[in-house]
Structure 1
Amino acid sequence: MDATANSGTTGVRVEIEDVQSGAVRPRPVPYVGKYLFLRVDDRHAGRALLRQLIPVTASGLPGVDLDQDAWVAVAFTYQGLAALGVPRESLDSFPQAFREGMAARADRIGDVGDSAPEHWETPFGTGDVHVALSVLASDEAQLDKEVQRARAAYQGSSGVRVIWEQDVRQLPTGRTTLGFRDGISHPNIEGVELPGTNPREAPIKAGEFILGYPDETGHVPAMPTPDVLGRNGTYVAVRKIHTNVAAWRQYLRANTSSAEEEALLAAKMVGRWPSGAPLALAPERDDPELGADRRRNNDFLYRENDDRGFRCPAGAHIRRINPRDATIIGDARMHRLIRRGTTYGPPLPDGVLEDDGAERGLIGAFLGAHLERQFEFIKSEWVNDGNFIGSPGEKDPVAGHHGGTGTVTIPEKPIRRRLRNLPSFVVTRGGEYCFLPGLRALRWLAELED
């Protein structure tokens, strides 16, 4: 590793100047953004697009003020790389999950029923998505500036066209459409000079998130060839998720007898209170001051005082997605993800229990160097199964596919509580597996020759 320095216990230095900013930096708070999908009909036009986008694409870490930032990120599907004319030997070097795409692996990750690919929004899963652009900023002025710079790269080209756009923004409440603060947790990545949000989390090997570095197994994983294409890249699972807010509220109301019980049940299912305060630190009532404190709202583990889940149930959403040090079957560090969620659509007004028909939910970007043992494992084994916590018949109460037959167990003394007949509170509207290359790789792609 000629550009990294081995520093013993501190591991390697990630070539952060070659890593797209969209790979490792948290999104700003507050945020506004836009996602765009493009189709490449002419490989020469696609390469010309990249030459225009490279100066726009940000690299490295954010500035000192995380809330005053904006960036453009560029990623490609397998079909997109083929449309650019990437050589066959390089295309074949990508992992099978990426080559097949998310739609082909829907059963594996729980996209069934209403979430199955045949119900997805066009153009998800059609093979027409080639390039995915994401633009995130802390205010509208910065967003407009970056979007216009990105648009200038493809406007006027007959060989590249936009086939899908989605605006995202933080709601005025600062919470998701389900009413909970989001974007709190970010991993501590070894070799990246950006601290994680949990001071108790030991640094995770860079190779879990960025290609070209040792991962938690101690080895440098296989990556796409040639080296310039794979190194400093990562994979992104992009998901559009509709939230059934009315169904969520109806279920909480039907299974409680007061507003206080309703709030507690919701927190038990999520693992945090609406403010972001974790049940592990605030088990009895919401603590908005704790929830707003970036130094404290993610500063906890489970094994020391809540391994049995009396504060935060083992099946709660945040504990399934990141079990931390809890006693589980397997090693949680092997399945850590960078998760970046952004909200789309209007909120359902407070107190409304009936669905108004509006589209609302989450655009999720889940980043890691191993699609199968990170994103797919979490979806199949932790979200839609409970074997790892000793509850094989239960799914994630928030993100699992329940179809009206789900159950969730909440540990209580002297007798645990078991809720039944959970509906599905989220529905997949579409998804794509993308590859987010390093900047040198973008230049390599832009200069491909026939």
Structure 2
Amino acid sequence: MSNIFQRIFNPSKVTLELDDIQALILRNRPVPYFGTNVLLHIRDADAGKKMIKKLIPLVTSAKNWHQADEATATIAITFEGLKALKVPNESLSSFPENFREGMAARAEKLHDVGENAPKYWQKPFGTGQIHIAVNIIADTQEKWKAKLKEAEEELKKISGVDVLFKADFSATEEVKNVFGYRDGISNPEIEGSGVDEVPGFGRPIKAGEFILGYPGEAGSVAYFPKPDILGKNGSFLVLRKYHSKVHEFNRFLQKNANTEEEQEYLAAKMFGRWRSGAPLTLAPDKDDEKLGGDPERNNDFSYKDDQRGHTVPLSCHMRRMNPRDTKQSVISDVNLHRIIRKSVSYGGEPEKGITVDDGKERGLYFIAISAKAMDTIEFLQSQWVNEGNFINHGDEKDPIIGLNQGKGTYTVPGSGRHRYNAVETFNIMQGGEYCFLPGLRALKWISEL
């Protein structure tokens, strides 16, 4: 994917302050990828500021986001982290209410109930102890390990900051998730980043939808945290850790389809794509690996001729997350609900066709970025993931990430319309945090408070 953006990058179209924006926002996820998530707790404010100052030289700016040939290091801070760093009260109060409350406190809004409720989350998620999240990702093990070693060496020099959680993740050149499906295909492009319109991606969306301090789709600059040096060129990041029950998904397929070919077809109808990444819209009857692996074609499609979902079911995971030009029963502007996804898989794919839990930890770190990430994820979780009113499907939920709990239903329209029952929760929430993604000047400002 990075090669595409190198070809279509146009310096004359850059209007954003790229050298002040963290690269994760704009840089495409590397292929393959290797990385680590580290969650930190600040016991001493001065130590926390010192740590940030030490890490700033390692943080990657978006200046050369389109090249993506170096390891990317990112720093994100929770509201409790900003408090621990002694950010002034007038600045703390300028952050959005849902960010100040934190993800665990917003569980009802997020439909994080039942088996996804915070009381079941993996510690330290939801405890208020997570202050800083550091993400390192690269396209080779060598680059990843070198960047990680630099960060760890700096952390060792500072007392008063504790490592609460450290976990690695990776994917091969096929970039498949633990269910065996190519992921990370569809992300919006940002106006002013220097990108021209990419086939299949639609027009670049106004920068203010993703980066603070710029006009959004409505034409105005939305309010952002103060002072300007703190909020400008920043964004918000949502981190959600899921444990994936691949064996349950395979069991569901085998229960509802006879042959392996029929099971693959049903799975594609639930995801919206085949395992290769080929979209059902362009490959309605069978997988097309060449199409799925072609980033200039695998996202270049429309739903305008499939408004009833006969080819791509209205309720499938991909169509729910980006309805594109689907005529919705409950009208909403799709561009106002787009997020930049930087999700990564951990644990690797299990044995093909596994139907018994092998006890291994595997799943997804869902990472979403937006100038209003909290509002967006709460909307997506409550309206597009765990409800079906916007597509006139009642209380039907997303078949892949919805909270179905063995009671879910899934509708596949067409001449042979079928409604599947007893859909399980295939991805169990294990915890998450709302984070602020400061610009590089903001990180320096925080470190010098």
**Per-residue displacement from partner, 1:115-167 (whole Å, max 9, x unpaired)?**
11111111001011001000000011000111011112211322111110110
> CA contact under 8 A between 1:401 and 1:424: conserved in structure 2?
yes
Post-superposition Cα deviations, 1:101-123, rounded to whole Å, max 9, x if no partner, equal 00101121121112111111110
1:300 Cα deviation after fit: 1.0
List runs of 5+ in structure 2 lacking aligned partners.
Answer: 1-11
The residue number in structure 1 matching 2:5 is: none
Moved beyond 6 Å, runs of 4+? none
The one-letter amino acid paired with 1:389 is I
1:384/1:400 contact within 8 Å kept: yes
Q: Paired residue for 1:410?
A: 412
Instruction: Describe the SS at the equivalent of 2:382.
Output: helix
| Equivalent runs, 1:11-410 vs 2, <5 Å | 13-62=15-64, 65-66=67-68, 68-171=69-172, 174-194=175-195, 198-199=199-200, 201-303=202-304, 305-328=305-328, 329-410=331-412
How many percent identity over aligned positions?
Answer: 45
Query: What is the CA deviation profile of residues 182-209 of structure 1, one whole-angstrom value per residue up to 9, with x for unaligned ones?
Result: 1111212111124575545122111110
2:234 partner letter: G
Partner of 1:443: 444
Between the aligned partners of 1:168 and 1:286, the Cα distance in structure 2 is 27
State the one-letter code of the partner of 1:406: G
Q: How far off is 1:391 after superposition?
A: 1.0
Amino acid at match of 1:306: D
Give the letter aligned to residue 59 of structure 1: S
Question: CA shift at 1:286, angstroms?
Answer: 0.3
Q: Where does residue 7 of structure 1 map in the other structure?
A: none
Cα distance in 1 for residues equivalent to 2:197 and 2:47: 40
SS in 1 for 2:226: coil
SS of the counterpart of 1:193? strand
Query: What is the aligned partner in structure 1 of residue 9 from structure 2?
Result: none
When residues 116 and 190 of structure 1 are mapped into structure 2, their CA distance, relative to the original with a 3 A threshold, is same
Preserved CA contact (<8 Å) 1:211 1:233? yes
Q: Matched residue pairs, number? A: 436
Match of 1:154, SS state, is: helix
Task: Give distance in 1, aligned partners of 2:74 and 2:124.
Answer: 20
Say if 1:196 and 1:220 are closer, same or farther in 2 by CA, change over 3 A. same
Q: Does the Cα contact within 8 Å between 1:97 and 1:371 map onto a contact in 2?
A: no
User: Structure 1, residues 402-445: CA drift from partner, whole Å, max 9, x if none?
Assistant: 011101111111x4211111011010011000000001101100
Cα 1:197/1:129, change in 2 over 3 Å: farther
| Distance in 1 separating the partners of 2:215 and 2:66 | 28
- Whole-angstrom distance in 2 between the partners of 1:358 and 1:124: 20
Determine if contact 2:41/2:129 at 8 Å carries over to the other structure.
yes
| Deviation at residue 69 of structure 1 after TM alignment | 2.9
Task: State the SS of the aligned residue for 1:444.
Answer: helix
For 1:326-364, what per-residue CA distance to the aligned partner results, in whole angstroms no more than 9, with x for missing partners?
Answer: 112211111000011111113211132111111100011
- The answer to whether the 8 Å contact 2:234/2:437 transfers is yes
- Contact kept, 8 Å, 2:317 with 2:399, in 1: the verdict is yes
Amino acid at match of 1:218: G
Output one character per residue of 1:307-328: Cα deviation in whole Å (capped at 9) or x when no partner.
Answer: 2211111111011111112112
d(CA) in 2 for partners of 1:313 and 1:222?
Answer: 38
CA 1:196 to 1:420, structure 2 compared with 1: closer, same or farther past 3 Å?
farther
| TM-superposed deviation, 1:251 | 0.2
In structure 2, do the counterparts of structure 1 residues 270 and 196 end up closer, same or farther at CA, with 3 Å as the change threshold?
Answer: farther
Relative to 1, partners in 2 of residues 1:12 and 1:172: Cα closer, same or farther, differing over 3 Å?
closer
Most deviating of 186-195 and 174-183: 186-195
For 1:19, the aligned partner's letter is I
Identify if the C-alpha distance between structure 1 residues 63 and 76 changes in structure 2 by more than 3 Å, giving closer, same or farther.
closer
Mapped to 1, the partners of 2:27 and 2:201 lie a distance apart of 20
Distance change in 2, residues 1:335/1:249 (3 Å): same
| CA displacement 1:260-310 (0-9 Å, x = unmatched) | 11001000000000000001111110000000001101111211x222211
Measure how far apart 1:375 and its partner are: 1.4
- Higher mean displacement: 278-287 or 198-207: 198-207
* Gap runs ≥5 in structure 1: 1-9
TM-score (norm 2): 0.94
* Secondary structure, counterpart of 1:443 in structure 2: helix
- Distance in 2, Cα, partners of 1:240 & 1:196: 32
Tell me the CA shift for residue 373 of structure 1.
3.4
| Cα distance in 2 for residues equivalent to 1:336 and 1:402 | 24
Q: Distance in 2 between matches of 1:254 and 1:169?
A: 31
Structure 1 vs Structure 2 CA RMSD: 1.6
For the Cα contact (< 8 Å) 2:211–2:370, is it kept in 1? yes
Q: For the residues of structure 2 that align with 1:191 and 1:154, how far apart are their CA atoms?
A: 35
Q: Is the 8 A contact 1:23 1:367 kept in 2?
A: yes
